[in-house]
Amino acid sequence: MDIRTIGKTPLAVTQFGFGGAAIGGLYRECTQEAAMETLQAAWDAGMHYFDTAPFYGFGLSERRTGDFLRSKPRETYVLSTKVGRLLRPVPEDQVPDYSYVNPLPFTVDYDYSYDGIMRSFEFSYARLGLNKIDILYVHDIGVYTHGVEKNAIYQRQLLDSGMRALDELKSSGAISAYGLGVNEVEVCLDVIARHPIDCILLAGRYSLLDRSAERGLLEVCRKQQISLVIGGVFNSGILATGPVAGANFDYGPASDDILGRVRAMQKIAEANSIPLAAAAMQFPLREPVVANVLIGTAKASSLTRNMELLKVDVPDAVYAAVEPFTIP
């Protein structure tokens, strides 16, 4: 699998990587055995970049990712996790519902300060059981997650002291790169205007369907040599399932407008005898500033099926034909 570098750093990642939310039990239970089988399928497919987070299963994804990678030579993979949430133990009946099935018995507290980021980093070491983390992403900063008033507080924490923690970790060699892991474009532009970063893990905003990143972010990333890692390439599922009843978009049921857009896209794909999911997987890497596309699943069979889609030749004409139906 081809590799691309992260920003101005010497760090290089495979063009496709493994996203660890599903092995933390997102939406449905994932057993330890299934998690290990899926991680092994990703490794065998050539995906040697692994992304996880404390939030995924409240520590479960980090533990499983570390269990898998511990036997691999350290120079053969790149690992990223996230900061911004601290886990706190609670009784089982007080574990919050964030759509994780059978998570570990913790709740989450937001903390984007210097101390919060340093504590989160150290706790991730312990959960992973590893002594090196390559990339840290500031997780879910922004109005999309917090709303206007709370985000103003958290963003102040990050800019006033949290970024200093990330700078210190990078300058000491504890990490090789840092950036944002978010679901919105606006906060990326806001933070970049105030502090340099290496990369952005952007979920669902630079896809075959949703082109929000084209509203200024791509241009800024090109100028400042900030790499994009793209998550949510299927926009919560609809670009994989097609516009079927119950299809999801952006973590919820797809609207009639979205169903109509995807229906039109699917007709174009079918007319060219290609799966719509193949075009969705391959689309982001047409942009040179995109370093990686993350694929997240809790089933080895799904991972293998998705990787088969990379063998499909998607003509440029297909991308041009679907563009009028995208969310600009």
Exposed e or buried b per residue across 95-105, where buried means at least 16 C-beta atoms within 10 angstroms of its C-beta: beeeebeebbe
**Number of Cα atoms under 13 Å in the Cβ half of residue 158:** 29
Q: What is the CA radius of gyration of the chain?
A: 19
- DSSP, residue by residue, 6-65: -TTSS-EEESEEEE-SGGGTBSS---HHHHHHHHHHHHHTT--EEE--TTTTTTHHHHHH
Q: What phi-psi label fits residue 318: left (phi over 0), alpha (psi between -120 and 50 degrees) or beta?
A: alpha
Question: CB neighbours (10 Å) of residue 321?
Answer: 17
Amino acid at 286: R
Q: Distance between CA 11 and CA 4 in Å, rounded?
A: 8
The catalytic residue positions are 51, 56, 82
Q: Distance between CA 201 and CA 221 in Å, rounded?
A: 12
What phi and psi, each to the nearest 5 degrees, are found at residue 107?
-115, 175
